[in-house]
Structure formats: C-alpha cells, structure tokens
C-alpha cells in the first residue's frame, strides 16, 4: 500500500507535566526572501594601481520567479494517516517518575487536561499511522500514566488503542488500533537528508483542533535542548502548539522526517520555534518497541562531563575534546575494563567523541554484549581499551561538621568523613575522601563553585582517602605541571553525583580573582 506523507507536530506534553520548551526568544520565519544578497567585498589595490577600482564580487541572486510552495496536494495525501489521541489519566499520578528526559519547560504540548484535582482527566495529543495494520507513533508524554487511550481518525472514527511500548528516554511511544480493513499510513523518511532551509509541514491536533496544518522551514539540526541523553532534535519554525505533541513533521515528498515533541516557549505559548525527534532515531526505537515493548541500549557504566579548556589545563592535557570520566560505576563494564575517573574518552569504535552527548549516543547505539574499542587519554598518554558493553538498566541512579584542616591557598577547610557526616550527606560506605567544611570567601575554590558539603575524593587522577591525603595531593598538584598550567582538577561528590571541578590558580598557586 502506498505510504501517505506525515505532517510535523508541535512539541509538548499532552498532559499536566510541564513540557513547553523555554530556551530562547525568537521570531518565526514564515516567508521566502525573493531578493538577493550582495557580497560586495574588495581587496585593497597595490600602490602602483591605486587609481584603479577593484572589481566588486558578484551578487548571489535568489532563483527567478521564486514562489511560496503549495502544500494542498501533499496535505490531502497525508491527512488520512494523522490521528488525534485522547488520554484519560489520573492527576494523582506523579510526573517524571521513570527517570526519562525531564523537559525544562513550563507547559506540556498536549491539550491542557480538563478535570479537578484527584479526578480522571482527559488530555489530547497527536500521532500518525506508520503501518496498515494500525501501528501508531506518538510521544511518550502523550500517553504516560494513561488509564485508557483512544484514537480518532481523520474521518471521525474513534477507536480504543493499546500501548505497545514506551521509551521515556527518547519520549517516543507506539500504540496499536484494530480495524476490519487496512488503514492509510505514512512512511518514515531519512532525517539524515534533511537540510537547513528546506520547507517542512506539520500536522496535528493543536488545542483539540484536529487535522490542523502548519508549515515552515528547518532552521537547525542536531539541537541538544537538555531534555535527555539522546537529544538531537530538528529545529523548525513551523507554528506548533499544545496538542501537536506526537504529530508528524514531513517534507514535500510526503515522508516523515520528525516527531514534534517540544517548543521554545518563554511564555508557555508558541513563538514559532519547535523541536522534532529525527525519523532515523524514531525508526530504531519504534522497531524495538514493536518487537519487545521496550528499548535495549548499550551500557558502559560511567558518568562523564565536558572537557573544558580550563579542565584540560588542570589535567595537563593539550586538547579539550572528548568526554571526561567523572565516575565509574562499581562492577560495571567500564570498571571491569579498567576505565578510571580522569580518563578522557575520545573515540568509540573509531567514531570521534567530542562531548558526553557523543559518548552517550555511541554507546547506546551499540548492542549489549558486544565489544567496544575506546580510544582514551590517561595522564596525557593515548590508549585503546576494549569494553564488553552490558544492557542499560531501566532505572538509574551541605552543611558539614567541624574538625577542619587548614584552609591553604585553594581556600577550603577539610574535615574527615565521620559516621554522622556520612549519614547526613547520604554517602555510600565505600566512599573515601575529605568533606569541604568551609569555603573561604573570594578564594579560587569559591570562584570554581566548590560548596560546603562537597566531598573531595580525588585530586587530578589521584584518589584521596581523607583530609591529610587531600591537602598533600593539592600541595603536590600545585607544584607539578598541572599547577603550572594555572588550574587544579578536584574530583568531588555532590548530591550523590561525581564530577571534576577545575580550580583556577595564580602562577604561585594562590587565588586568581578573575577565576
């Protein structure tokens, strides 16, 4: 059966959980510029030819007769495969309990729920059919916590829907409806071929107004909006509103290239900037949800952070590209392979890693049980480590006392981890280090963001087991090559999370007021 084209949908949760993206303000670009850009640049003429005029660079003209595209035929083909989704949910359910992407936005993209506190309410979103057998793709936040789900087809037919599977980490879900005859559907296209500036069309159920069409252009690719570890959104300027969540974003050839999931919304409403999950990611997730009801991903067992220029200096590294390992989970694949905090992963199976996001994407895409070759930097030396990846688990993972040591030039007073402090800071029994009892005002430590209650567990690549060891390691580090670079790397634990913090020093190891 010929696949129908899919429209883009607005980003937003179809429920009470706030999902409207509040990032930056901006205006939508709704038209096509028919003028031209004059690139008039000229080099200075030599003195001997000063009387001559340098030729102007040629103007770059827009195509003659450029017109706004007509989407009418395209919409006619696609519309039968786009559905409205109504979810009955209970407001007593808690939001974001699954540990999935927490969208930092004030409002969901679904229709605002109707009902009172503690009562079943309805929320509305969008979706699209991807198979004649009734398989439907939508956002996870549209159907999360659902007591029941129903789907309304473009002809008004209402059908009960079954949730086949949900993936909170990518905010995708698959539904299934049953009908006596095949349903019209649309195909998932290749989001890798999407180009910035091309026209795209979105279709969905904004504010409960089913079958609504909007159009715009792709304004950026690969956006990381901080909603989850696998962000690589297509940014679009098509108007997207509450209720568009889960709807398709499609190109002029009628192929779906994205699932709309969020909007940039300083006010809670649309300002013309939306974000869609790319179809190539959707294909992978939907295939697994259809087959098993869940998604299997590779698991390395590390927490990583960006390697900033300051941190690279603190670790005595020449380059600042890669994912800096802040902590290694005990008994995880990385620990078994010998990966250590302070290592910098620069490639996975030959694919360059420039950030923690790259590392998360590369590892998640690998099949559990397979070996991954990691190119790492350790103490400035390049190594290759082989790691057998596991399957990603479904769930994840202040004031201090006295007995302070001397503050020193970094500007912290350190205390041992007493049983009382261990309980107060909720530290595992195997954690060793020094508690930051006080941070000196105006010190390098304060400028770096060190806080009272942080636990220093390492200095550079060296672990410390108490205040004396920490002071000794800090003094040694400020005298070695790392200290000469003007920065000191402290590995801390705060609120159960490990991270490196770069402390900027003066040339003599003292405070740097600009740091």
Together in a domain, 216 and 276: yes
* DSSP type of residue 490: E
Instruction: Report d(CA 501, CA 496) in Å as an integer.
Output: 15
pLDDT of residue 220: 87
What's the pLDDT band for 426 if we cut at 50, 70, 90? confident
- The reply to whether 34 falls in a domain is no
Instruction: Report d(CA 110, CA 93) in Å as an integer.
Output: 17
Check whether 16 has a pLDDT greater than 80. Answer: no
Together in a domain, 2 and 13: yes
Instruction: Report d(CA 448, CA 436) in Å as an integer.
Output: 14
**Looking at 126, 141, 343, 375, which residue is catalytic?**
141
- The reply to whether 193 falls in a domain is yes
* DSSP type of residue 355: S
- The reply to whether 122 falls in a domain is yes
119 is catalytic: no
Phi and psi at residue 346, in whole multiples of 5°? -110, -15
Instruction: Report d(CA 309, CA 221) in Å as an integer.
Output: 25
With beta carbons less than 8 A apart as the criterion, state whether 513 and 443 touch: no
What's the pLDDT band for 107 if we cut at 50, 70, 90? very low
- The reply to whether 348 falls in a domain is yes
Instruction: Report d(CA 2, CA 79) in Å as an integer.
Output: 14
Burial 399-426 (b: 16+ CB within 10 A, else e): ebeeebbebbbbbbbbbbbeeebeeebe
Check whether 385 has a pLDDT greater than 90. Answer: yes
Average of pLDDT values for 226-251? 83
What's the pLDDT band for 312 if we cut at 50, 70, 90? confident
Together in a domain, 73 and 222: yes
- The reply to whether 42 falls in a domain is no
Q: Provide the sign of the torsion angle of the four alpha carbons 232, 236, 241, 245, taken in this order.
A: negative
The upper half-sphere exposure of residue 478, i.e. CA atoms within 13 Å in the direction of its Cβ, equals 18
Check whether 400 has a pLDDT greater than 60. Answer: no
141 is catalytic: yes
Together in a domain, 357 and 429: no
Together in a domain, 141 and 155: yes
- The reply to whether 56 falls in a domain is no
Average of pLDDT values for 436-440? 81
Q: Model pTM?
A: 0.60
**Looking at 84, 145, 167, 171, which residue is catalytic?**
171
Instruction: Report d(CA 5, CA 201) in Å as an integer.
Output: 10
Together in a domain, 387 and 273: no
- The reply to whether 45 falls in a domain is no
Q: Exposed, middle or buried: residue 431 (CB in 10 Å: 0-12, 13-18, 19+)?
A: middle
**Looking at 126, 219, 227, 245, which residue is catalytic?**
245
Together in a domain, 244 and 157: yes
With beta carbons less than 8 A apart as the criterion, state whether 205 and 197 touch: no
More confident site: 58 or 303: 303
Residues 6+ apart with CB under 8 A from 132: 1, 182, 183, 184, 185
Domain boundary at 295, 329, 364, which? Answer: 295
More confident site: 110 or 54: 54
Instruction: Report d(CA 415, CA 392) in Å as an integer.
Output: 36
Check whether 261 has a pLDDT greater than 80. Answer: yes
Average of pLDDT values for 368-394? 89
pLDDT of residue 86: 92
% of the chain surpassing 90 pLDDT: 28
Residues 6+ apart with CB under 8 A from 263: 10, 11, 12, 20, 21, 105, 109, 240, 241, 270, 271, 273, 274, 275
Which CATH number characterizes residue 447's domain? 2.30.42.10
Average of pLDDT values for 272-280? 89
Strand partners, 386: 373
Together in a domain, 96 and 203: yes
* CA-wise closest residue to 307 among 357, 349, 348: 357
SS3 357: helix
Together in a domain, 201 and 322: no
Average of pLDDT values for 222-234? 79
pLDDT of residue 396: 34
Together in a domain, 283 and 306: no
- The reply to whether 33 falls in a domain is no
Domain count, the chain: 3
Domain boundary at 295, 315, 336, which? Answer: 295
Which CATH number characterizes residue 16's domain? 2.40.10.120
Together in a domain, 185 and 114: yes
Most confident of 45-59, 192-206, 220-234, 306-320: 192-206
Residue 435 lies in domain: 412-504
Q: What is the DSSP string of 32-50?
A: ---SEE-----PPPPGGGT
C-alpha 452, offset from chain centre? 30
Most confident of 393-397, 413-417, 481-485: 413-417
Domain boundary at 391, 421, 444, which? Answer: 391
Check whether 353 has a pLDDT greater than 60. Answer: yes
171 is catalytic: yes
SS3 336: helix
What's the pLDDT band for 338 if we cut at 50, 70, 90? very high
pLDDT of residue 316: 79
Burial 27-55 (b: 16+ CB within 10 A, else e): ebeeeeeeeeeeeeeeeeeeeeeeeeeee
Together in a domain, 277 and 307: no
pLDDT of residue 439: 82
């Amino acid at each position: 059966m010929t696949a129908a084209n899919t429209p883009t949908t607005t980003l937003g949760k179809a429920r009470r959980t706030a999902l409207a993206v509040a990032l930056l303000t901006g205006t939508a670009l709704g038209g096509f510029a028919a003028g031209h850009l004059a690139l008039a640049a000229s080099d200075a003429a030599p003195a001997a030819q000063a009387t001559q005029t340098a030729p102007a660079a040629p103007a770059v003209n827009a195509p003659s007769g450029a017109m706004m595209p007509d989407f009418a035929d395209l919409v006619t083909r696609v519309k039968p495969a786009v559905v409205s989704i109504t979810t009955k949910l209970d407001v007593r359910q808690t939001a974001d309990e699954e540990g999935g992407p927490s969208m930092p936005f004030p409002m969901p993209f679904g229709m605002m729920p109707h009902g009172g506190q503690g009562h079943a309410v309805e929320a509305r979103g969008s979706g699209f059919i991807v198979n004649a057998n009734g398989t439907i793709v939508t956002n996870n936040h549209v159907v999360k916590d659902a007591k029941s789900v129903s789907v309304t087809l473009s002809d008004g037919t209402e059908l009960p829907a079954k949730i086949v599977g949900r993936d909170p980490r990518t905010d995708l879900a698959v539904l299934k409806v049953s009908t006596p005859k095949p349903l019209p559907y649309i195909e998932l296209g290749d989001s890798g071929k999407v180009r910035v500036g091309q026209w795209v069309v979105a279709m969905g159920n904004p504010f409960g107004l089913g079958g609504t069409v909007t159009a715009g252009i792709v304004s950026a690719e690969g956006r990381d909006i901080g909603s989850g570890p696998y962000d690589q959104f297509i940014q679009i300027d098509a108007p997207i509103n509450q209720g568009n969540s889960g709807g398709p974003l499609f190109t002029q050839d009628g192929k779906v290239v994205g699932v709309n999931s969020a909007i940039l919304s300083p006010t809670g409403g649309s300002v013309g900037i939306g974000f869609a999950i790319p179809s190539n990611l959707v294909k992978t997730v939907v295939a697994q949800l259809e087959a098993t009801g869940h998604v299997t991903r590779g698991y390395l067992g590390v927490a990583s952070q960006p390697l900033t220029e300051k941190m690279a200096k603190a670790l005595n590294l020449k380059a600042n590209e890669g994912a800096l390992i802040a902590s290694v989970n005990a008994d995880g694949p990385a620990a078994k392979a010998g990966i250590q905090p302070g290592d910098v992963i620069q490639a996975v199976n030959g694919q360059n890693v420039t950030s923690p996001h790259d590392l998360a994407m590369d590892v998640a895409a690998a099949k559990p049980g397979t070996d991954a070759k990691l190119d790492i930097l350790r103490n400035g030396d390049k190594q290759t480590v082989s790691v057998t990846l596991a399957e990603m688990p479904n769930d994840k993972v202040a004031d201090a006392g006295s007995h302070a040591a001397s503050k020193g030039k970094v500007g912290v007073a350190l205390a041992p981890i007493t049983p009382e402090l261990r309980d107060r800071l909720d530290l595992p029994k195997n954690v060793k280090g020094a508690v930051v009892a006080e941070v000196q005002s105006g010190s390098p430590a304060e400028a770096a963001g060190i806080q009272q209650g942080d636990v220093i567990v390492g200095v550079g690549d060296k672990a410390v087991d108490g205040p004396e060891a920490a002071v000794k390691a800090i003094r040694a580090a400020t005298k070695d090559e790392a200290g000469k670079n003007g920065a000191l790397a402290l590995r801390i634990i705060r609120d159960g999370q490990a991270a490196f913090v770069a402390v900027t020093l003066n040339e003599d190891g003292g405070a740097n007021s600009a740091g």
